[in-house]
Amino acid sequence: MAFRISAEVIQSHNAKHSAALAEDYSALGRTLARRGIEIEAVVRKVISFGVAIPTWGVGTGGTRFARFPGAGEPRSIFDKIEDCGTIHALTRATPTISPHFPWDKVADVTALREAAGAEGLGFDAVNSNTFQDQAGQKLSYKFGSLSHTSKGVRDQAVAHNLECIALGQALGSKALTVWIADGSNFAGQSNLSQALDRYLEAMAEIYAGLPDDWQVYLEHKLYEPAYYSTVIADWGTSFAAASELGPKAKCLVDLGHHAPSVNIEQIVARLIRFRKLAGFHFNDSKYGDDDLDSGSVEPFRLFLVFNELAEAADRKAVGFAPSYMIDQSHNVTDPIESLMQSAVELQRAYTQSLLVDRAALAAAQEANDALGAHLELKRAFTADVAPILAMARQRMGGAIDPVQCYRASNYRNHKTSERPVSGVVAAGIV
């Protein structure tokens, strides 16, 4: 019998913290009431907030220099689903998973769907992988996939994406995320115009294979593994490609995929305006695509992104329904702890964004009161909303302090004996 963190264990953890939480919660409720905010309404919104866990995130990641695997790592997609179930049981904020193919491919897709269902998990967007060669693969992606100079390679990459759609349909997913590693490492290596033409042609074939109620998310990335140019380098290229493809194509914003200092919240506002915001791959970064834990370096920037989302939701922006996914590499932490904390940080930014007084902000903006407008945002950002998050978790049966409850349960030690190292380790991003 596989070890699980039972509801009783979570309840007895909560019993130790619930009196203090009740006190903090009512104090915060009074503070917010003075600002005209009903705390219960905020809790209800937090309860309905969910972010997808990437299946590749529960394995220890690494860099191109090394990977330092932890004990009790998931060995298969089924182990990964178990870990994702644990994250959701404790945080109640991660009701879906985002699988990556062929990493997560199994012969029996129904078994996958059932395993997730047993953990109370559904499927968010499916991700294709044409950035690696797989064992037994006929043609290589060394020089690209959807934009490759060879039609044979492009066809193979298109066929893989169509297969991902079929797998996703069997899982109950409604979107395909396409990130390609295509690009060049030398000036002159690639014809920049033709590479994009070939990509668009290949993407049109994938687009044609989308079921009616599906969408395709185009993910841009400015560098790595190509270091001179990438085919879908920025949101501008992504937006132009999505516009040419049609209404089912939208732009996915991975927070780490921009040059340092780029104003991501403004990109988000633009994409919302043009009804092209697909959603997010959340993470944080300092220098580049660092894939650091969400909210760990620049929580204010994360808040500013959520502020744009809250503003759009508030005015019921047409076509606004972004998907929220995490995409991080956990190299030095227990991935489960990192993912739980990241989900909490995302909830925190979301909650803070709900506290912005939209009317006061708009009035300050109209009056060109620069500092007054800024202070409206700062008031919301500096509010300690932890009691709201903990209350939402407790009401949903999650843990008041997910990391503490997880550590006390010894989950990782149990998994270490249940998952003996077999030589096969389903790694995170490497």
Contact pattern from residue 43 through residue 72 relative to ligand RM4, giving x for each residue in contact according to CB under 6 A and a dash for the rest: -------------x----------------
User: Among residue numbers 221 through 240, which ones bind ligand RM4 (CB under 6 A)?
Assistant: 221
- According to CB under 6 A, which one of 73, 104, 254, 293 is a site residue for ligand RM4? 254
| CA dist., res. 156 & res. 137, Å (int) | 9
| CA dist., res. 386 & res. 323, Å (int) | 24
Two structure tokens written together for 378: 């700062």
Taken as a whole, the chain contains a residue count of 430
- According to CB under 5 A, which one of 182, 254, 284, 376 is a site residue for Mn ion? 254
Whether the CB-CB separation of 123 and 325 falls below 8 Å is answered with: no
Contact pattern from residue 271 through residue 300 relative to ligand RM4, giving x for each residue in contact according to CB under 6 A and a dash for the rest: ----------x-------x-----------
Contact pattern from residue 176 through residue 215 relative to ligand RM4, giving x for each residue in contact according to CB under 6 A and a dash for the rest: ---x------------------------------------
429 is a site residue for ligand RM4 (CB under 6 A) = yes
**Per the omega criterion (within 30 degrees of 0), is the bond before 95 cis?**
no
How many CA atoms, within 13 angstroms, populate the side-chain half-sphere of residue 102?
13
Q: Which does 127 bind (CB under 5 to 8 A by kind): Mn ion, ligand RM4, none?
A: ligand RM4
Binders of Mn ion: how many residues, by CB under 5 A?
A: 4
- In angstroms and rounded to an integer, the radius of gyration of the C-alpha atoms of the chain is 22
Contact pattern from residue 127 through residue 166 relative to ligand RM4, giving x for each residue in contact according to CB under 6 A and a dash for the rest: x---------------------------------------
Name 277's bridge partners.
251
With CB atoms as reference, the residue minimizing the distance to ligand RM4 is 179
Q: Which does 214 bind (CB under 5 to 8 A by kind): ligand RM4, Mn ion, none?
A: none
- Taking phi first (over 0 means left), then psi (-120 to 50 degrees means alpha), and beta for anything else, what does residue 68 get? beta
Output the smallest distance, CB 182 to ligand RM4, in A.
12
For residue 7, which of 398, 405, 400 has the smallest C-alpha distance?
398
Output the smallest distance, CB 46 to ligand RM4, in A.
26
Three-state secondary structure of 122-141: EECCEECCCCCCCCCCCCCC
Output the smallest distance, CB 8 to ligand RM4, in A.
37
Whether the CB-CB separation of 399 and 10 falls below 8 Å is answered with: yes
Output the smallest distance, CB 87 to ligand RM4, in A.
18
Output the smallest distance, CB 254 to ligand RM4, in A.
5
182 is a site residue for Mn ion (CB under 5 A) = no
| CA dist., res. 213 & res. 363, Å (int) | 40
User: Among residue numbers 286 through 305, which ones bind Mn ion (CB under 5 A)?
Assistant: 289
124 is a site residue for Mn ion (CB under 5 A) = no
Binders of ligand RM4: how many residues, by CB under 6 A?
A: 11
327 is a site residue for ligand RM4 (CB under 6 A) = yes
| Sequence-distant (≥ 6) Cβ neighbours of residue 313 within 8 angstroms | 320
339, burial (CB in 10 Å: exposed 0-12, middle 13-18, buried 19+): buried
Alpha helices (H) in 183-334, listed in sequence order: 192-208, 235-245, 264-273, 299-314
Contact pattern from residue 65 through residue 94 relative to Mn ion, giving x for each residue in contact according to CB under 5 A and a dash for the rest: ------------------------------
Nearer to ligand RM4, 392 or 426 (CB): 426
| CA dist., res. 366 & res. 360, Å (int) | 10
Residues within the interface to ligand RM4 (CB under 6 A):
56, 100, 127, 179, 219, 221, 254, 281, 289, 327, 429
Residues within the interface to Mn ion (CB under 5 A):
254, 281, 289, 327
